[in-house]
Amino acid sequence: MSMRSYDPEEIGTLLDTAAQLRDEKKSRVFPRRLEHRNIAMVFLKPSCRTRVSFLVAAADEGANMESFSAEEIRFGIKESVRDVARVLGRVFEGIVFRGYDEAVLRTLVEYSGIPVWNALSDHYHPTQVLADLLTVRDVFGDLKGLPVTYVGDGRNNQARSLAIASVKMGLDFRILTADSLRPSPEELDEIRADAKALGGSVLVTADPAEALDGSAVVYGDVWASMGEENLIDERITALREFKVTGSMMAATGRDDSVYLHCLPAFHDLETDFARQYPDVREVDDDVFEGPRSRVFDQSENRMHTAKAVMVLTVR
Mean pLDDT of 177-182: 97
Reduce the DSSP state of residue 192 to 3 states and report it. helix
Amino acid identity, residue 51?
R
Q: Is the pLDDT assigned to residue 1 strictly greater than 70?
A: no
Q: Is the pLDDT assigned to residue 286 strictly greater than 90?
A: yes
| pLDDT-derived band at 176, boundaries 50, 70, 90 | very high
Q: Which of 22, 37, 60, 128 is catalytic?
A: 128
pLDDT confidence of residue 225: 81
Active site (annotated) includes residue 132? no
Q: Which of 98, 235, 261, 294 is catalytic?
A: 98
Asked if residue 306 lies in contact with residue 53, where contact means CB atoms within 8 angstroms, the answer is yes
Reduce the DSSP state of residue 185 to 3 states and report it. helix
Active site (annotated) includes residue 125? yes
Q: Is the pLDDT assigned to residue 21 strictly greater than 70?
A: yes
Q: Which of 49, 172, 262, 284 is catalytic?
A: 262
pLDDT confidence of residue 271: 85
pLDDT confidence of residue 22: 98
Mean pLDDT of 291-304: 98
Q: Is the pLDDT assigned to residue 46 strictly greater than 90?
A: no
> Distance (Å, rounded) from C-alpha 278 to C-alpha 161?
28
Kindly report, as residue ranges, where domains of CATH 3.40.50.1370 are found in the chain: 8-124+301-313, 128-299
Mean pLDDT of 12-30: 98
pLDDT confidence of residue 105: 94
pLDDT confidence of residue 229: 81
| pLDDT-derived band at 204, boundaries 50, 70, 90 | very high
Q: Which of 37, 267, 294, 302 is catalytic?
A: 302
> Rounded to two decimals, what is the model's pTM?
0.96
Mean pLDDT of 244-252: 98
| pLDDT-derived band at 78, boundaries 50, 70, 90 | confident
* pLDDT (tens digit per residue) in 115-167: 999 999 999 999 999 999 999 999 999 999 999 999 999 999 999 999 999 99
CATH 1.10.287.90 for domain 128-299, yes or no, is no
Q: Name the CATH topology of 8-124+301-313.
A: Rossmann fold (3.40.50)
pLDDT confidence of residue 194: 85
Q: Which of 49, 125, 182, 235 is catalytic?
A: 125
Q: What percent of the chain has pLDDT over 70?
A: 100
Q: Is the pLDDT assigned to residue 198 strictly greater than 90?
A: no
CB atoms near residue 146 (< 10 Å)? 22
* pLDDT (tens digit per residue) in 49-76: 999 999 999 999 999 999 998 788 877 7
Active site (annotated) includes residue 51? no
Q: What distances in angstroms separate CA 59 from CA 35, 127, 169, 230, 297, one per listed residue?
A: 9, 18, 30, 38, 20
Q: Is the pLDDT assigned to residue 274 strictly greater than 70?
A: yes
Number of residues written out for the chain: 315
Say which residue, 152 or 5, is predicted with more confidence: 152
Q: Is the pLDDT assigned to residue 23 strictly greater than 70?
A: yes
Active site (annotated) includes residue 221? yes
Active site (annotated) includes residue 128? yes
